[in-house]
Amino acid sequence: MEKFELEPALKDEIRARVMGDGFVKIVQSVRRNGRSFRISLRPVVIGGARKIQAEMTDDGHVQVKNLDAHGVTTGLEEILDQKGARDLHLITARGDLHVRVTKKGHVLVSRSAETEREVVAMPHDRIKRTPLTSFDATALLRATGLADGDGKIRASMRGKYDQVNEFLKAVGELMGDAKAEDGRTFTVVDCGCGKAYLTVALYHYLVQVRKMPSVRVVGIDRRADVVESARKIASQLDIDGQVTFVEADLSDVGLADVTDGERVDMVISLHACDTATDEALAKGVEWKARYVLAAPCCQHELQKALSGGCGAGDFAGLMRQPILRERLCDILTDSFRAMIMRVLGFRTRVVEFVDGEATARNIMLKCEYGVKPGQAAPVGEYLALRDYWKVTPWLETRLSTLLEKHLSRYS
């Protein structure tokens, strides 16, 4: 017997436990060259019938398959014939079996004491699905460079992959079960799209997961090199008719540059720098988009205004510390943004859209148009905070034409 190989008797025991009554789950994890691969088999109930579901996670890229009898046998043999260091955990009603194959090829086996565990096959929809694992996203992930040639998420792109995936989740949550109106193209504008990771992913999500029949996504960025690369990606994915790009500063882009007269349904922006986030929010308002989702990035405007000391008052001790001043200004800037969107008729929530490990910039404004603009409560709250700090937020100046009539009634 070679090193790393399981003994025939151990393989037979595992086969018998997986194929017999009381099988709960088998999971094998392999770590090699800094990458992790995990495969699990477990019974599930689909349409009242018991099946075995295989879940393969390859460096974070998850694939789920429901197997027939032949598939189970093949899948299990692959697990048993795996080479290299690995951990295998088999759970059955009678107890657990652990097998650890060390880096030197030694096979260590341990068995738990006999138990009487109740076995319940889970409905298959209990599997955690994410937008990017709900369809075959391999081509998309490869073309954007989020994944390598084998379709594995690159370690260096893990944070961006998570941001995009969670952004899509937030889009899904905000839209609920809303559908595109019959015969209309659902139009999205991505402000500060960069290399278009989110732009093309959102297109696929709307078409493949939400089954929207006609979708158009327009990315805007002022950098020629990223727009060129974004166009190449869309062309490679054969969606360059539906996903297009405008190379321009956001402030110079008008409605006619992004649609042929159709309404814009959604405006998004992911980490558009500084006031570009405000510009994205302003576009959403002016273009009468129903949905606006913006994850802000660096924010300097308010810092400049507050570093002069105006409005700092009792906060002078806090403002003295650059890191605390920066965080306070970030919070105030996003508060003003959220409040202005509320004043202008958007139901607005500020959420953490992604884990802090994926990015420290994990705040998102999720806005949906749908209430009467200029109501007393949001206007009052906005004016109170603004006047306390004695500042004029950039977004107020940018949207002054629309805001003035609402603010002047209560000031």
Ligand X SMILES: C[S@@+](CC[C@H](N)C(=O)[O-])C[C@H]1O[C@@H](n2cnc3c(N)ncnc32)[C@H](O)[C@@H]1O
Residues near ligand X (CB under 6 A): 192-195, 197-198, 220-223, 226, 249-250, 270-273, 276, 279, 297
- Output the smallest distance, CB 242 to ligand X, in A: 19
When computed from its CA atoms, the radius of gyration of the chain, rounded to whole angstroms, is 26
- Output the smallest distance, CB 273 to ligand X, in A: 4
Using CB atoms, what's the residue nearest to ligand X?
A: 194
- Which of residues 194 and 393 has its CB atom nearest to ligand X in the complex? 194
d(CA 11, CA 101): 14
CA distances from 177 to 150, 209, 213, 361, 366 (A): 34, 12, 15, 28, 16
Residue pair 67/18 in contact by the 8 Å Cβ criterion = no
- Output the smallest distance, CB 286 to ligand X, in A: 15
- Output the smallest distance, CB 198 to ligand X, in A: 6
- Which of residues 39 and 226 has its CB atom nearest to ligand X in the complex? 226
Tokens representing 341 are 């969107």
- Which of residues 169 and 222 has its CB atom nearest to ligand X in the complex? 222
- Which of residues 78 and 249 has its CB atom nearest to ligand X in the complex? 249
- Output the smallest distance, CB 272 to ligand X, in A: 4
- Which of residues 257 and 387 has its CB atom nearest to ligand X in the complex? 257
- Which of residues 15 and 232 has its CB atom nearest to ligand X in the complex? 232
Place of tokens 């570093």: 307
- Which of residues 132 and 319 has its CB atom nearest to ligand X in the complex? 132
CA distances from 92 to 72, 95, 104, 113, 232 (A): 16, 5, 29, 12, 50
- Which of residues 197 and 382 has its CB atom nearest to ligand X in the complex? 197
- Output the smallest distance, CB 155 to ligand X, in A: 17
